[in-house]
Amino acid sequence: MQTIAIVGLGLIGGSLGLDFSRLGYRVLGVARRPETVAMALKRGVIHQGSTDLSLVAEADGVFLCTPIDRVIEIAQQVVPHLKAEAILTDVSSVKGALVPGLTALWPHFIGGHPMAGKAEAGLAVAEAHLFRGRPYVLTPTADTVPQDLDAMAGLVDQLEARRYCCSPQEHDQAVAWISHLPVMVSSSLIQACQQEPKPELRQLAQALASSGFYDTSRVGGGVPELGTLMARYNREALLSSIALYQRQLGQIRALVEVEDWDGLHHFLAQTQAARPAYVDDAL
């Protein structure tokens, strides 16, 4: 693979462009707005850019990096321009709602999800090495061409990401737990604080908020478009995660209500022991 095209030059598309340029690929970029193309050229994200999707005709691999609700429609416009053997992939945070439609559109499609993000969106916050050490999930299906999977795996490895393969459905339930549910939990936390009826107390809480609140509120303070699309396109998995989460919160409430401090200690000891399996404090 020599030439990579990126459609959608925002946080994820821009960061991929910076990395693939750094790795020596020729990178082509397609954005919706000419200003984004100009900024991508200026920042060295891409070698050549356009607002016209026909630019992808020269690419050996094409990454669709637009918002989730635009991916299928843009893929339909991209496919007529693709080289016969070009690999098509996406970076969307949901897979089950997209992979079947995209596979039907192009035989060399493989779903992907680089699990690295920021609270901000857009090309201005794109950065090189964003995916280093982070998970990058590929979701091949029974229709996937083995050589395409090998080529995608090679690209992911060059990004120094931690590569995983699973089905689109397994991906969606897993990310509902560790990505989509946390956005809803974190935003409910911020909303709950906002319900404090006394303005002076709310202001005091805002002034006293420190690292603990920073950590727990971060994903609830992200761009609303992304959270809304996650819920819309991963609704069932998210609903089942919310139901189990509510049960845990109910358990904590019951323990506190009856002043079962041993029970609460046991609950918190279990979560303290479980957390390292999910997160590496070195990250």
Q: Give the binding range for ligand NAP (CB under 6 A) out of 32-40, 132-140, 202-210, 270-278.
A: 32-40
Are the C-beta atoms of 80 and 52 separated by less than 8 Å? no
Spatial CA neighbour of 155 closest among 19, 41, 47: 19
Binding residue for ligand NAP, selected from 122, 158, 163, 165, defined by CB under 6 A? 122
Other beta carbons within 10 angstroms of residue 275's beta carbon come to 10
Is residue 121 at the binding interface for ligand NAP, with CB under 6 A as the rule?
A: yes
Binding residue for ligand NAP, selected from 5, 12, 59, 99, defined by CB under 6 A? 12
Is residue 93 at the binding interface for ligand NAP, with CB under 6 A as the rule?
A: yes
Is residue 159 at the binding interface for ligand NAP, with CB under 6 A as the rule?
A: no
Long-range contacts of 158-162 (CB under 8 A, 24+ apart): 158/19, 158/23, 159/16, 159/19, 159/114, 159/131, 159/132, 160/129, 160/131, 160/132, 160/133, 161/114, 161/116, 161/131, 161/132, 161/133, 161/134, 161/135, 161/136, 162/133, 162/134, 162/135, 162/136
Provide the 3-class DSSP secondary structure of residue 162: strand
Binding residue for ligand NAP, selected from 3, 4, 6, 8, defined by CB under 6 A? 8
Nearer Cβ to ligand NAP (5/255): 5
Binding to ligand NAP (CB under 6 A): which residues in 210-269? 226
Q: Give the binding range for ligand NAP (CB under 6 A) out of 30-38, 99-107, 147-155, 190-198.
A: 30-38
β-pairing verdict for 162-165 and 3-7: unpaired
Q: What are the angstrom distances between the C-alpha of 44 and each of 60, 65, 132, 251?
A: 20, 18, 19, 52
Is residue 46 at the binding interface for ligand NAP, with CB under 6 A as the rule?
A: no
Binding residue for ligand NAP, selected from 26, 70, 129, 134, defined by CB under 6 A? 70
Nearer Cβ to ligand NAP (34/107): 34
Is residue 92 at the binding interface for ligand NAP, with CB under 6 A as the rule?
A: yes
Is residue 33 at the binding interface for ligand NAP, with CB under 6 A as the rule?
A: yes
Other beta carbons within 10 angstroms of residue 13's beta carbon come to 26
Looking up tokens 């356009």, which residue turns up?
50
Nearer Cβ to ligand NAP (151/161): 161
Distance CA 210, CA 282 (A): 20
- Minimum distance from residue 98 beta carbon to ligand NAP (Å): 9
Nearer Cβ to ligand NAP (70/202): 70
Residues that bind ligand NAP (CB under 6 A): 8-13, 31-33, 36, 65-68, 70, 74, 91-93, 113-114, 117, 121-123, 226
